[in-house]
Structure 1
Amino acid sequence: MPRWSVAFVRIVDRMNYGVGRFAMYLLFVLMGILMWSTISKVAFTPSYWTLEMAQFAMVAYYILGGPYSMQLASHVRMDLAYAKWSARKRAWVDAFTIFALIVYLGVMLWGALDSLGYSLGLTWEGGVPQIGRLERSPTAWRPYMWPIKSILCVGFLLMLLQSIAYFIRDIATLRGAPIPGGDI
């Protein structure tokens, strides 16, 4: 395999490993938010922000942890026939399914970027982007939506890059020069 492709796979693996390890700690943030919500409901006036903030923390945990989970091959998989196949046959099937996943993630990233642009009030006037009124949640707390939509964009991009890395890894296996790693 070309050196650039091996370098790309290694860089993406390293980056998603770091982001995934960070995302694991978001579970503790979520627990803290839910603990505060419980205490505030019992001891004094409930906080408006806890429900939405817990949802935002869970979305960040899930979206940023997805590429790391893919890297560790810990997604749910039906191994009834897959485990018995040769490495080459698994690479063919994986390359096909990863290609479909890349197309799907491309569409999701496009939609996430469009939604982020909307939340920033982005309009194009005379070929120049203009930022207008920022989108806010319609709840009582009314947080700005662009931070969580930015996290969605980053998460979809990281998942897309990890999928491309796996596609390159499958092609390398089919060519008889597998790229080691993936399960850091």
Structure 2
Amino acid sequence: MIPFIRVYVRIVDGFNRRLGRITMYGIFVMIAILMWSSVSKIAFNPSLWTLEIAQFAMVAYYMLGGPYSIQEGANVRMDLFYGEWSTRKKAWFDVFTVLFLIFYLGVLLYGAYDSTAYSFKYGERSPTAWRPYMWPIKITMCIGIFLMLLQAISELLKDIATLKGVRL
């Protein structure tokens, strides 16, 4: 079973690391969109699509960067006590708390899947003047949540390995 776990952790961590490093550059895409929005309001007719496409880019940035944030430990945690604990005690605490994260992400993925299916079935569009289809961003959200779920499971396996004294 350990070889399977090692392969799983290596594949999930490697994929999410590469995707996260690429997604980091999404901030420049958002800057470009918002700069165009500002310039177009002053120099041209204001573009209808800029604010909404910036919101979509932000959603993609957060959702696809989420697994990398989990992997790097960049999530918010109360370090008042945690920072002083031993590696083993941190692993025990993380094993306990990551179960809540896995449950939450599972429920979130279930809802996101239903929302995406609805969007496809009824051709859901945004209620703004631009009226883009909603399914592309909903698919992006499903992918991001699924990858976060895989990364959370990877973190759980790494913490269990730490408690058992096994190196993955």
Match of residue 154 from structure 2: 165
1 or 2, which has the higher helix percentage?
Answer: 2
1:34 has 2:34 as partner: yes
The amino acid of 2:153's aligned partner reads I
Match of residue 57 from structure 2: 57
**Deviation of the 1:178 alpha carbon:** 3.2
Match of residue 128 from structure 1: none
The amino acid of 2:81's aligned partner reads A
Match of residue 152 from structure 1: 141
**Deviation of the 1:148 alpha carbon:** 0.2
**Deviation of the 1:89 alpha carbon:** 1.3
Match of residue 176 from structure 1: 165
State how far apart, in whole Å, the 2-side matches of 1:178 and 1:97 are. Answer: 21
**Deviation of the 1:14 alpha carbon:** 0.4
Report SS of the residue matched to 1:80.
Answer: helix
The amino acid of 1:29's aligned partner reads V
Match of residue 139 from structure 1: 128
State how far apart, in whole Å, the 2-side matches of 1:94 and 1:139 are. Answer: 42
Once the two structures are superposed, residues 114-151 of structure 1 have per-residue CA deviations (whole angstroms, 9 ceiling, x without a partner) of 00000001xxxxxxxxxxx4111111000000000000
Q: Where in structure 2 are there 5+ consecutive unaligned residues?
A: none
**Deviation of the 1:90 alpha carbon:** 1.0
Match of residue 23 from structure 1: 23
State how far apart, in whole Å, the 1-side matches of 2:44 and 2:164 are. Answer: 65
Q: TM-score, normalised by structure 1?
A: 0.88
Report SS of the residue matched to 1:77.
Answer: coil
Q: Where in structure 1 are there 5+ consecutive unaligned residues?
A: 122-132, 180-184
Q: TM-score, normalised by structure 2?
A: 0.96
Greater mean alpha carbon deviation, residues 75-84 or residues 108-117: 75-84
Report SS of the residue matched to 1:76.
Answer: coil
RMSD between superposed Cα atoms in Å: 1.0
The amino acid of 1:177's aligned partner reads V
Structure 1 segments (4+ residues) deviating >4 Å = none
Report SS of the residue matched to 2:118.
Answer: helix
1 or 2, which has the higher strand percentage?
Answer: 1
The amino acid of 1:86's aligned partner reads S
Match of residue 72 from structure 2: 72
